[in-house]
Amino acid sequence: MINYKELSLLAETEVVKFFESTPPELTYHNLHHTSSVAAASEIMAEYYQYNERSKALLIIAARFHDTGYFKTKGENHEVVSVEIAQEFLHKNGVPDDDVEFVTRCIRSTKMPQTPKTEEEKIICDADLHHFSLPNFLEYNDRLWKERENILGKKISKEEWLADTLNLMSSHSYFTTFADANYTSGKQNNINQIKELLKKNKTDSHPSSKKEKVEKPSKGVETMFRIASGNNQRMSDMADKKAQILITVNSIILSIIFSQLIRKLDGSSYLSIPTYMILSVNIFTIFFSLLATRPNLSSGKFTQKDLEEKKVNLIFFGNYYNMPFDNYHQAMTSVMEDNHYLYQTLIKDIYIQGIVLSKKYRRLRISYNVFMFGILTSALSFIISIIFLK
């Protein structure tokens, strides 16, 4: 019996390893594109309530559908992609019917697309779902640069945009899901391309722009490392201080309950100071626990959050309930966008500071309660013993 969920994870691992050696000229057909298509395929498979087998095979097809680019640089790459996928499936003892399912899905992505079955329509729509994305022009620039790299010649901006406009204008999504969710975004991008063609901004050619520095300066790296490290050390210090308060007050409480309270019947004058120190201990422990009490969010983020660059993917509390494919795709987007990466690091440090401020505020209350409370209680004991005994 095939465990399809495990098979899908094996396929993911295989493809990730495969893309580790992505040729630099493939700026579009890389792991980011593959993960994006797999994620879109999974969303549609769940929408159409596919069983575990069909969903897994569809996602596997999505992961392997462009692996042939490595050997062919695009020319009939689906044929090679099928061979690579079949080799993986046969190696893992997958039945012939399942191999045929994956094969059909991969072949259907060949342009112009002519899918026949529902699963073929899904993977075709997933392959071109980026037509509808708000950052479509970024994807289009990557594909433009890739075509120039492969052909070994420059393509003018006007020519590239005209070809893109022709492709998108003649394209229609095949599934009802894609038609309902992607068509509007695609039309917006078509309108943007028309505007760009009118303006004919030739100076925006990707190869004519000054290359952005991929790596941050050592000063920036050091700043982020020190800031994050300081926040972590401050958090550890707060936790240790809270633990000390909890331990000390727990010991005092045990002494009160085991020694003092039993003697109150014969020493009623000690009642007030005893209950005072008891209250001090309880409130100190309460605020110390409050300072170290963990707080988690829902652990989910939406595609809109990602597109608007609002989500902090460094903190586990924002993604622990998300499927791995969605998280992987999101992290890949962050790594490919330096501006978003720095925004994420800045936001993470800021949020750490907010959390630290709450922790230290509560810890300060604990120390104040303990410090003034223990002093007041001690004076109360002294007064009671001297004047009320």
Alpha helices in the chain (DSSP H): 4-19, 31-47, 52-64, 69-72, 77-91, 96-107, 118-127, 136-151, 157-170, 176-199, 218-255, 261-263, 271-292, 303-307, 324-336, 338-383
Average pLDDT over residues 188-207: 74
Q: What percentage of the chain has pLDDT greater than the value 90?
A: 34
Measured CA distances, 149 to 74, 83, 138 (Å)? 12, 25, 17
The pLDDT tens digits of the residues spanning 63-92 come to 999 888 877 766 778 888 899 999 999 999
- Residue that wins the pLDDT comparison between 308 and 146: 146
Tell me: pLDDT of 287 over 80: yes
Q: At residue 101, what is the residue type? A: F
pLDDT at 306: 66
**Is 331 a residue whose pLDDT tops 70?**
yes
Average pLDDT over residues 136-148: 89
* Mean pLDDT across 288-305: 77
Q: How far apart are CA 376 and CA 135, in angstroms?
A: 64
The pLDDT tens digits for 105-116 are 999 999 888 899
d(CA 261, CA 274): 8
User: Does domain 4-203 correspond to CATH entry 1.25.40.340?
Assistant: no
Give Cα 167 distance to the centre of its chain.
32
